[in-house]
Each structure stands twice: as structure tokens, then as C-alpha cells.
Amino acid sequence: GTSLVWLRDDLRLDDNPALSEAAGRGLPFTVVYILDEQSQGVRPLGGAARWWLHHSLAALSADLESRGSRLVLRRGPAGEAIRTLATQTKADHLFWNRRYGQPERTIDADLKEWAGGHGMQASSYQANLLFEPWTVKTGAGGPYKVYSPFWRACLASQDIRNPFEAPDTLPEPAPSGRGLPASDTLSSWNLLPSSPDWSGGLAATWRPGETGAQQRLEDFLDGPIEDYGTGRNLPGTEGTSRLSPHLRFGEVSPFRVWREIRRRHPHNVPSDVGTYRAELGWREFNWHLLYHNPDLATRNFRPAFDNFQWAPTSREELAAWQQGNTGYPLVDAGMRQLWQTGWMHNRVRMAAASFLVKNLLTDWRIGEEWFWDTLVDADAANNPANWQWVAGSGADASPYYRIFNPVTQSKKFDAGGSYLRTFIPELRDVEGKGIHEPWTVEAEGYPKPLVDLAESRERALDAYQKIKSA
């Protein structure tokens, strides 16, 4: 019989257990991707992620074709689309890699049940997280709510499974004679922006797809990782891996990253490399949180925050933040980097988010949604978890009195101003330290500060104090 491989957030051939298990049967199989904008609770992709998805699917499609296979594209509620395709191809076995969001798990569980009722087998695999959420438990048997002990427990378990490696060749995609199953064309999905097409900066920055992902990984492991402890804090350098969108879409597996690190450091892990692995640990932790708290993107992890008095957000203030016109160069450079390239450096994400939530006292969910729409790495767990971390409403969150000062941060981490100059043309000719405080120098066309830092800081501390004493 034939089988069906349903790819989702695992758009790769390498280290893909669902794919290698299906291929390993030595029988024909169909590889499918479903664009699901209809199933209950599935969060629709933002604009930047749609752009990425288009190019990632194009790359995957080409990779499959070069191996004599093909990618079938269908849209609709995923469960229904898979049932139709499985019936059309007379599949006797469904393969996929596991997902961890609640709506997605419901779809998968229903499908498994349907398959069982129709004489079909359904097999799912661990492929996208190093540690599946239900396997990491506190001494008392519950989920972790604090990162450090979570990650210590992960590392102590030394249980990095996933022995799979995709074979070099894949067999025929579908039974000959019966023809290939019908596929949508990628262009018919309209994932790319038009009128206006804002994707030029994204295209200049990224190469979506597996080849691009592997190149990034290699470049990073060959250099920047050795100095990651320092380099990761400097937004003006290429000190981080920039693997986040590739990991988001599963173009590279975390197991691959892990194994490549281990191959280069078989005996002991240097501290910079350990620091890097600990960041992968935050990704694991956030998915652990989402698994146990499905509404992480909409509900405060700490219920005390349900009574928090956010300020009414003025359209003008919000637009100034979104467009990078707050008058604070680090925040503005970050927001413009985001708009142009679909990505923002982590240190700057923290500063920009803190500015919105604390200095403008805006509900974190408003910022989360903007990031969701504009980030190429917009991730259902990492985005809300990090926003809640900044807001103080999250698990293991930043303490309420920690309010990033964008001027201090910029002096410290972009001392020479190279990052600021890259993204803020109005400041390109400003020399010396004045670039961090443009209101002290001539900076033609650059906005005056939107709010006073000291005053807005006091306002935020007052609001947070109420929560604390409540």
C-alpha cells in the first residue's frame, strides 16, 4: 500500500523521522503540506511568516523533486484535507511529526482516531523538540514554571533521542498508473505580499529553506559560537545564529544543531557553547509552558495581572512604536530592523518590548500581536512567553522593577552606534556619544522623545506596585 507523510512545522528532508520511516518501507508515498486557515483555534500566520512559508515550501518542493518525489499542496481544515487525500491515494499508513499546541494536537488526535476506524495506521514522532513537554517533570510530578531547574533537569536526563537520519534517496512519490494526487499551486495561496510588496528587505536578508538553514548553522558553528557569551549581546555584530526562523519552520532540527555541536565538542562544552545551548533551552521551556498553558498568547500566566491597569493606548503612540519613531534610538533601530528584515536582535527585542509595556504602559498582548505579524520567526510559544517575561506576567518573568533604559542599553551594547546608524538614516551623520541621545545634538528629521523616561518609569512602578501589594 501507499502511505501519506504530512509535513507541518518540519519543512526539511534531513533528520525527519516521519519522512524516513515512510521512505524506509520501500513503498510509494505522498508528501503533503496543508495550509490550514480554518480549523478551530489554529492561529493564522502573520504577514512575515506567510512570506517565509511561501519560500520554504518552494525550496522543499524543489528538494523533493530533485529526489524524484513531489510535494502535494492542499488547503482547508487540515483534518478534512488529510482524510480526503488519504482516501484518494488509498493510503494505509499516515506519518507525521508531533506538534505541541492545543488546537493542533486536537486535530492530530482526531485524525489518529479516524485512521484507526478506517483500517489505517497513524504514526507520529518526536522531531521538533529535544524534550517533549510531558517528559520533563518536577520532583512533585508537575510541569516546571522556572527555567533554570527545567533546563538542569533536561540536561541531567541526557536523553537526547531521535536516532533518525533521512536517507539520501526517496522512493517514487505515488503509485505509477494511478497518477499523482492533485495539488494546488503555491502561487494560488497568495502568501506573498503585493501592493505594496514590502518583502524586499526580507529577501535581501534571508534564504528560507533547508539549504539556507544548514548554511547558517555551519557559518555560526565555524565562528560566532566561540564568542557567543559576549557576541550575543551586541546587535551591531553577527554574534548570534539567526537560526530562529529556520527552527520555527523546522528547516533544521534542534537535534541536528545539538549533534553538530557535540561533534565539534565531543568531550566538554566550552562555556560560550553552553550559553548557546541554554538559549535552545529557552525554546524548549517556552514550548513546555505552551503545552501546559494553551492560552499563553491571550491570558496572563500570573492571574494577578488580570487586574493590571494598562494605560489606554493612543493610536499615535502605538504607531510611533511600530514605525520606530519613539525618539529613542535603540528602540527605533530595533523596530525598523523588524519592519525591514522580519527579525530583531534579542537584546533589542527586550528593550523595545519593555519600552512599549513599561514606558508606554501598553498591554503586552498588543505588542505580541505586532511581533506576530512582522517577525519571520513568529512562534506560538516563544513570542507570547517572551512578551509575558518582559511584562512580568509570565512564568519566571523579569522582575517588575526591571525597566530597560534604552539609552543606557544602547551606550552599553552599541557603544559605537553602528547598529543605530544601520537602521536610522537620520542619525547616520551624528558622531560620537550624541547618537545615543539625539535630542542633545543636531539630528535632522529624527523625532523628539515620545515620553520622558524618568516620568514614565515612575508611572510604571506605581502601576506594578499595585499588583504587588494586591
436 binds ligand FAD (CB under 6 A): no
Among 69, 240, 293, 340, the residue binding ligand FAD under the rule CB under 6 A is 240
CA distance 314 to 437: 24
330 binds ligand FAD (CB under 6 A): no
- Least Å distance, CB 463 to ligand FAD, is 19
Residue number, 63 or 396, with CB nearest to ligand FAD: 396
244 binds ligand FAD (CB under 6 A): yes
253 binds ligand FAD (CB under 6 A): no
387 is catalytic: yes
359 is catalytic: no
Only segment of 169-177, 180-188, 264-272, 377-385 that touches ligand FAD (CB under 6 A): 377-385
Among 50, 99, 288, 349, the residue binding ligand FAD under the rule CB under 6 A is 349
| Residue of 364, 370, 372, 389 with catalytic role | 364
389 is catalytic: no
Among 2, 56, 162, 383, the residue binding ligand FAD under the rule CB under 6 A is 383
Among 14, 36, 317, 377, the residue binding ligand FAD under the rule CB under 6 A is 377
Q: Are 345 and 298 in contact (CB under 8 A)?
A: no
Among 18, 191, 335, 350, the residue binding ligand FAD under the rule CB under 6 A is 350
Q: Are 366 and 449 in contact (CB under 8 A)?
A: no
- Least Å distance, CB 45 to ligand FAD, is 12
456 binds ligand FAD (CB under 6 A): no
251 is catalytic: no
CA distance 464 to 78: 43
Q: Are 144 and 154 in contact (CB under 8 A)?
A: no
- Least Å distance, CB 122 to ligand FAD, is 29
23 binds ligand FAD (CB under 6 A): no
Bridging pattern class, strands 71-75 and 2-7:
unpaired
For residue 32, what are the β-bridge partners? 6, 72
The single-letter DSSP state of residue 398 is P
CA distance 303 to 467: 10
Cell of 446: 529624527
Cα distances (Å, whole numbers) of residue 395 to 82, 148, 299? 36, 12, 12
Only segment of 22-30, 52-60, 281-289, 402-410 that touches ligand FAD (CB under 6 A): 281-289
CB neighbourhood size of 111 (10 A): 22
Cell of 457: 518609569
337 binds ligand FAD (CB under 6 A): no
Cα distances (Å, whole numbers) of residue 103 to 9, 36, 48, 160, 470? 14, 11, 22, 26, 34
Q: Are 13 and 63 in contact (CB under 8 A)?
A: yes
CA distance 116 to 131: 27
Element (H, E) at 86: helix 78-88
261 binds ligand FAD (CB under 6 A): no
310 is catalytic: yes
> Catalytic amino acids?
279, 282, 310, 346, 364, 387
Return residues touching ligand FAD (CB under 6 A): 232, 240-244, 247-248, 279-280, 282-283, 286, 346, 349-350, 353, 371, 375, 377-379, 382-383, 386-387, 390
